[in-house]
Amino acid sequence: GCMSNDRDSVQRSSADMDRHGGAARFLPFDMQPLHHCCLGCIDIEVGYRFMCLLFFAYGVLGIVAACADLGSGDDVWRDFGEYNSKGLAFARLTLHFLFTANQVVGLKAHWNRDARRADWYFWGWVLYVVSSFFVEVHHLSSIGSDSAWYGEALCQKCEGMFHNITGGCEDERVAACIEVDGHSPYFTSFAYFSGGIWLAVDTCVNCYFAVVARSYWFHLYDDKMIILGQSEMAPLGQSVADNGLTPLEEQALGGDTNVYVRMEDGRVDGSSS
């Protein structure tokens, strides 16, 4: 009858919401969505917007820095306790482009309260986390070869500064030149240490903000489910009565009593004028 048609309509609306907002499940493992971020100091709504703006600025600065590295005349160089190379600079430039573009998607999702774009933003974060992890792992594994390349280039540079060099890199003058530059096995060991620490910290931070992005999507999705009377947050203590709607709005928009659905069904089956 009429009630059965109402339920079918709500189910169709819910299925349509799944297609446009993503699956109703928060994450593929048992974890509740965040209501606050930054150690519980900022509401998810404000924190999400601040996150997108901050990371957009960070991405732009990263693009500028990567372009400057690509313009360097050396193939391998030392930079803030690590070895850098043009290959690494190009990989990071690509990552920063992806990262910055994803922040634009996130800002549009916030501006329009669009669950579908918020879902895209989350998967953009997933792609960035995975790509960044593999880039940094490759960077860590190439420290040995980068050190050897840098040492050879430095040796040739120092040899060009002196005449009558017969001992190559073992010549006392060349060795002293290399020592002045600071190239030594100790720097290579430090590069391994700092690279490992950066990999762990970067991955953990990226995963956390990916969870923040997923939480914001879930809150947008659940707002729509509240209107349909099918809130996913009900087990967390949030009821449909807390959605900020008046009783008349709840009757007009929510659940099996949706008057617009009933009127539409009535016109179709001829039960009302």
Q: Which residue would you say has higher pLDDT here, 232 or 217?
A: 217
Q: Which residue would you say has higher pLDDT here, 41 or 111?
A: 111
Tell whether the model's pLDDT for residue 160 goes beyond 90.
no
**What is the DSSP secondary structure assignment for residue 67, as one 8-state letter?**
H
Average pLDDT over residues 7-18: 45
| pLDDT value of position 124 | 96
pLDDT band at residue 152 under the 50/70/90 scheme: confident
Return the exposure string of 249-260: e unless at least 16 CB atoms fall within 10 Å of the residue's CB, then b.
Answer: ebeebbbeebee
d(CA 110, CA 106): 6
pLDDT band at residue 218 under the 50/70/90 scheme: confident
Q: At what angle do helices 115-141 and 185-227 cross, to 10 degrees?
A: 170
Contact 132, 202 (CB under 8 A): yes
What does the pLDDT look like over 232-265, one tens digit per residue? 444 444 444 444 455 544 554 544 444 444 444 5
d(CA 256, CA 258): 6
Tell whether the model's pLDDT for residue 268 goes beyond 70.
no
Closest C-alpha among 144, 165, 145, 142 to residue 155: 165
Q: Which residue would you say has higher pLDDT here, 103 or 36?
A: 103
Distance of CA 190 to the CA centre of its chain: 28
20-34, 36-50, 82-96, 148-162, range with the lowest pLDDT: 20-34
pLDDT band at residue 61 under the 50/70/90 scheme: very high
How many CA atoms within 13 Å lie on the side-chain side of 193?
A: 7
Paired residues of 36 in beta bridges: 43
94: helix, strand or coil: helix
Distance of CA 228 to the CA centre of its chain: 30
What does the pLDDT look like over 122-133, one tens digit per residue? 999 999 999 999
Predicted structure pTM score? 0.67
Q: Which residue would you say has higher pLDDT here, 265 or 64?
A: 64
| pLDDT value of position 256 | 45
29-43, 104-118, 213-227, range with the lowest pLDDT: 29-43
**Helix H segments across 43-114?**
44-70, 86-112
